[in-house]
Amino acid sequence: MITNDTDYEVETTQLSLDVLDIVSECDGARLRDVVERLGIAKSTAHKHLTTLRKNGLLTKRGDRYYVGLKFLNFGEQARSQWTEYQYIEETIGDLTARTEEECDFVAPDRGRIITIAESYHKWVKHSDGSGADVSEKYRARIGSYYCMHATASGLAILATYSPSRIEEIIDQWGLPARTEHTITTREKLYAELEQIREQGYAVDNQGYTEGMRSIGRAVHGPDGKVLGALSVSGPVYRVDGSVLQREIPNALIEVTEKLEEQLRSKQTDAV
């Protein structure tokens, strides 16, 4: 008998997960927020919130519920259980030292990307060149989710996918605009992905944050499948000219190839 994932869903569990998503998306939600967003009875929403709170998955301050610290424990376990994480962390440090810019590694997760590791050079100043601080609008944080079409890393990963998979992701998450530079049409997205395949890396020119550019490259595991992507980001006045066209792309390609070779060697040693 053919089955799919929905055949095994538990409605009560799914509702609790939906509650958690709302609390996270709202960066803190009230009881009435959950009721309105999910269209459920107040008593039902209260039961789920209370159960999640008692189990450490939520905490309450005033009339708002927030994600609980237990997720920090879960998150660290999820990251540390990646057998590749040690090499990724070393690669991020190497890339940061070489480029003197912000670097991170993201992994694909259900149609979006999530930050697994990041590093910031001690001399980096988050300015758009006029003195305005853009760091708070841009800075990647461990565990942050991003839509693929709006970031260099995401575009680099999308460029490795089949058209059918790309369409599934667009249908699920859309192509929402972050800035006036964000790719928001299928035509522009597919044209960009073709260019990425030709040059071997992706460039996000202020598509996620005004005043910031990023260069990203997909990382493949020993099995040939995409493990994630590395990226380098900085203000447009600094990531420009030869830095944008040669220096950062060359460094990114070199460290990516080195990382992939390390992962292949590790697998061979383990056999």
Given a cut of 60, is residue 6 above it in pLDDT?
Answer: no
pLDDT of the residue at 1 = 33
**CA of residue 146 relative to chain centroid, distance:** 5
156-184 per-position pLDDT tens digit: 999 999 999 999 999 999 999 999 999 99
Cβ 91 vs Cβ 257: under 8 Å: no
**How confident is the model at residue 81, as a pLDDT?**
75
- Cβ partners under 8 Å of residue 142, min gap 6: 75, 79, 115, 116, 117, 118
Torsional sign, CA 89, 94, 95, 96:
positive
Banded model confidence at residue 7, pLDDT cuts 50, 70, 90: low
Architecture of domain 5-72: Orthogonal Bundle (1.10)
Distance CA 42, CA 85 (A): 43
How far, in Å, CA of 117 to CA of 128, rounded? 24
* Burial letters 46-76, b for 16+ CB under 10 A, else e: ebbbeebeeeebbbeeeeebbbbeebeeeee
Q: What pLDDT sits at residue 176?
A: 95
pLDDT at residue number 122? 58
The whole-number average pLDDT for the span 19-44 is 92
pLDDT at 83: 73
**Tens digit of each residue's pLDDT (9 = 90 or more) over 208-251:** 999 999 999 999 999 999 999 999 999 999 999 999 999 999 99
The better pLDDT of the pair 121, 11 is held by 11
DSSP letters spanning 166-184: HHHHHHHH----SSTTS--
- Radius of gyration of the CA atoms of the chain, in A: 20
Angle, helix 248-270 to helix 85-99, in steps of 10 degrees: 160
Provide the pLDDT for residue 267: 66
Residue 205 has a pLDDT of: 94
The structural domains of the chain, with segments of one domain joined by +, span 5-72, 82-270
pLDDT digits (tens, 9 = 90+) for 48-89: 999 999 999 999 999 999 999 888 888 888 877 777 888 998
Whole-model pTM: value is: 0.80
Question: Which pLDDT value is given to residue 270?
Answer: 57
Residue 78: how many CA atoms within 13 Å on its side-chain side? 14
- 58: enclosing H helix or E strand: strand 58-61
Q: What are phi and psi of 57, to 5 degrees?
A: -85, -20
Q: What is the DSSP string of 76-126?
A: HHHHHT-TTHHHHHHHHHHHHHHH-SEEEEEEEETTEEEEEEEE--TT---
Report pLDDT digits (tens) over 101-154. 999 999 999 999 999 888 875 555 544 444 454 444 445 577 888 999 999 999
* Topology given in CATH for the domain delimited by 82-270: Beta-Lactamase (3.30.450)
Asked if pLDDT for residue 11 goes beyond 50, the answer is yes
Q: Answer yes or no: same fold for 5-72 and 82-270.
A: no
Identity at 24, one-letter amino acid code: S
pLDDT at 2 over 90: no
**φ, ψ at 199 (rounded to 5°):** -95, -15
Q: How far is CA 256 from CA 216, 243, 244, 250, in A?
A: 10, 18, 17, 10
